[in-house]
Structure 1
Amino acid sequence: MKEENNCEEWPFEDGPSAPVFTTGHVIIELRPIVHAVRAADGDWQFLSSEGADESSLKIVALKTLLSRHPYVKDISDLHLGWEAWRPDNQSPWSRRKIVGRQ
């Protein structure tokens, strides 16, 4: 579903209110996202280099994540069952199909 967002085309197939998984490092401390997963069921995960543990997990609206990390629009076309990663926030994204972990 493409929707309008601040007079620009919404870049994600999922709507702005879609819930996504992330961490406090990403959403509160604004650490750069270096790993993203779009699970086979459509769930998104956005992680920093600190990774995730149960105590740091957060669920936020996709529009909230995009407003704080606008560069994730570069991977908005990630296929179901794929992941994207990069060594740091200055590097380009690499992508691959997830095999055997879903």
Structure 2
Amino acid sequence: MPPAPPWPFADPPETEVIVLDRILSGDSPARLVTHDQEDGAWQFLDGEQVFEEDAAVVLLGEVVQVDPSLLELADLPPGWFAWRPEPGAPWRRAEGEPPATIGGEG
């Protein structure tokens, strides 16, 4: 069995992150990821409306097990966000606050 690739994130796999329950359950794909400037926190969202009760705190290593494509965002700097219109589409990146809605090429 080949060795596992090195962990690509600067934050360890045990870092607590915010993710939506519907992403963890597989009901919705991760389409928006934010890396907060102030505290370096990661949020994994689906680009839909979010209520506080929709979110869960889990470990970064758990989130990338649910969606390994999130490993592509390991180098996302604090203060940036990434989005994609659908799973399998390339991640796009921008600095600042994400727009109120995401999708398509917007």
Q: Which residue, 32, 35, 39 being the options, matches 2:32? A: 35
Number of equivalenced pairs: 94
Q: Please list the CA deviations of residues 67-99 of structure 1 after superposition, one character each: whole Å capped at 9, or x if unmatched.
A: 111010111100010000011112111111115
TM-score normalised according to structure 2 size: 0.82
Aligned twin of 2:102: none
Q: Please tell me the residue identity of whatever aligns with 1:72.
A: L
* Conservation of the 8 A alpha-carbon contact between 1:30 and 1:68: no
Q: How does 1:1-102 map to 2 (within 5 A)?
A: 7-40=4-37, 41-98=39-96
Q: How far apart, CA to CA, are the structure 2 residues paired with 1:21 and 1:44?
A: 6
Q: How far apart, CA to CA, are the structure 2 residues paired with 1:36 and 1:96?
A: 11
Change (3 A) 1:30 1:60: farther
Identity %, equivalent residues = 31
Q: How far apart, CA to CA, are the structure 1 residues paired with 2:32 and 2:90?
A: 12
Gaps of 5+ in 2: 98-106
What RMSD, in angstroms, separates the aligned Cα atoms of the two structures?
1.5
Gaps of 5+ in 1: 1-5
Aligned twin of 2:101: none
TM-score normalised according to structure 1 size: 0.85
